[in-house]
Amino acid sequence: MATGFILKGQVLSFSGSPFDGERPEDAARLQEAVAVQDGRIAGAGTLAEMQALLPEAATVDHSGKLIMAGFVDAHVHYPQTAIIASWGKRLIDWLNSYTFPEEMRFADRAYADEIAARYLDLTAAHGTTTVCSYCTIHSESVDAFFAAAQARGQRVAAGKTCMDRNAPEGLRDTAQSAYDDSEALIGRWHGVDRLEYAITPRFSPTSTPEQLEAMGALWGKHPECLMQTHLSEQTDEIAWVRELFPQARDYLDTYEEFGLLGAKGLYGHAIHLEERERHRLRDYGAALIHCPTSNTFIGSGLFDMAGLMAEGQRIGLATDTGGGSSFSMLRTMAAAYEIGQLRGTPLHAAQLLWLATQGSATALRMDGKIGNIAAGMEADLAVLDLASTPAIAQRADRAEDVWEAVFPTIMMGDDRAISEVWIGGRRV
């Protein structure tokens, strides 16, 4: 048995959801040290307790810093890494102008390998230890991503993005090939090491009813998998879905009808929802994924975090790279805060940090494994320097409690605020 190690600092964990009680901070716990052994958290408590737990372990001193679970990014497109921050388009034009030409390049395995490695290096540098990614229609793009994550020992979910219409030649599969290729990938990757497969119909406009039906059948056969797609991101998109599916009651119905609504379903954006859609999503315990930097960057709208949380929806947080304008979950929390402000419902720092870890892990149904610090959980950790720039340091210096100390880093921090990252108990 390895001797393990101890990190000493301000160790943040959650005993519940900060959206449930009167005071968000009551769901959070701060302890002095965390002990790690064999890739898992051995415990958290006082330094003396951790030293008694692992007597042989060395202690790394991070006094003044915040030690927390690594960030969990619940909706990303790793193939869009190189086209992040592309100017001036709204959703459908943005897809056609920037995204589809770039995704075409992933037929080349060597290019997919290069971008997968670049993406995972960039996100790790920003403190992100788990992502749930769309790939492209090419199985090679999925193999490249899983292989890169496996080499890093990372827990990730990903899937082949399926499209059989309204996408250019070279970027379309068929109902049958999408089913067959996705199933082969499930067999190759799902449950291998820390990897999970997510069945991935891109969104209703790029799938025929036949393809959605095939994806629903595949999910029915493999209920162990996640299913990810997009829902009600922009009003123009919703109008297009209405034209393409005239008999559907609403956007969600285009998924529901084909067996693509379920508890392991992840619905990205979910901004402009109807009453019926909200009820159905909640009744199924499906997850809504909030992508705030994307929703402002592409001009999509203001997600109703407070209203949706109050009605008991399951919600994760995500960058949506490269529709999102950042790889950083700090920047993403800041955007979520700003959108809350625009709706008159500011989020507490404890709520933001929970969304970026345990909230997203719960959305991905990985909350028993990652997203928090507790004995037995996988040791994916980030150490945050709360004084990483002069501007942040001078504000944090005035703080009267930990929440006031961490909030400037949430609002103004970037990869410079990430002192150390641990994946599966290994420093990266």
203 binds, among ligand GUN, Zn ion, none (CB under 5 to 8 A by kind): ligand GUN
- What is the three-class DSSP state of 166? coil
Using the rule CB under 6 A, which residue among 126, 138, 202, 264 binds ligand GUN? 202
Using the rule CB under 6 A, which residue among 14, 106, 145, 203 binds ligand GUN? 203
Element (H, E) at 103: helix 100-104
| Distance separating alpha carbons of residues 245 and 122, to the nearest angstrom | 39
Site for Zn ion in 7-46 (CB under 5 A): none
Task: Give the Å distances, CA to CA, from 126 to 123, 158, 333.
Answer: 5, 20, 13
The single residue listed with the structure tokens 């285009």 is 254
Question: Of the two residues 139 and 294, which places its CB atom closer to ligand GUN in the complex?
Answer: 294
| Distance separating alpha carbons of residues 337 and 253, to the nearest angstrom | 30
The single residue listed with the structure tokens 């999509």 is 300
Shortest Å, Cβ 79 to ligand GUN: 9
Cis peptide upstream of residue 322 (ω within 30 degrees of 0): yes
Site for Zn ion in 318-347 (CB under 5 A): 320
Shortest Å, Cβ 53 to ligand GUN: 45
Element (H, E) at 14: strand 5-14
Q: Does 152 bind ligand GUN (CB under 6 A)?
A: no
Q: Does 99 bind ligand GUN (CB under 6 A)?
A: yes
Shortest Å, Cβ 29 to ligand GUN: 35
Shortest Å, Cβ 214 to Zn ion: 21
Identify residue 225 by its one-letter amino acid code: C
Long-range contacts of 408-414 (CB under 8 A, 24+ apart): 409/330, 409/384, 409/385, 410/330, 410/333, 410/334, 410/337, 410/349, 410/352, 410/353, 411/334, 411/337, 412/334, 413/328, 413/330, 413/331, 413/384, 413/388, 413/389, 414/126, 414/328, 414/330, 414/331, 414/388
Ranked by CB distance to ligand GUN, the top (closest) residue is 323
Compose the 296-335 pattern: x for residues touching ligand GUN by CB under 6 A, - for all others.
Answer: --x---------------------x--x------------
Using the rule CB under 6 A, which residue among 141, 166, 294, 388 binds ligand GUN? 294
Q: Does 233 bind ligand GUN (CB under 6 A)?
A: yes
Answer for the pair 167, 100: CB distance below 8 angstroms, yes or no: yes
Using the rule CB under 6 A, which residue among 8, 190, 194, 230 binds ligand GUN? 230
Q: Does 201 bind ligand GUN (CB under 6 A)?
A: no
Q: Which residue in 190, 93, 188 sits closest to 139, CA to CA?
A: 188
Question: Of the two residues 212 and 386, which places its CB atom closer to ligand GUN in the complex?
Answer: 212
The site that binds Zn ion (CB under 5 A) totals a number of residues, namely 2
378 binds, among ligand GUN, Zn ion, none (CB under 5 to 8 A by kind): none
Q: Which residues of the chain form contacts with ligand GUN (CB under 6 A)?
A: 77, 91, 95, 99, 202-203, 230, 233, 294, 298, 320, 323
Q: Which residues of the chain form contacts with Zn ion (CB under 5 A)?
A: 268, 320
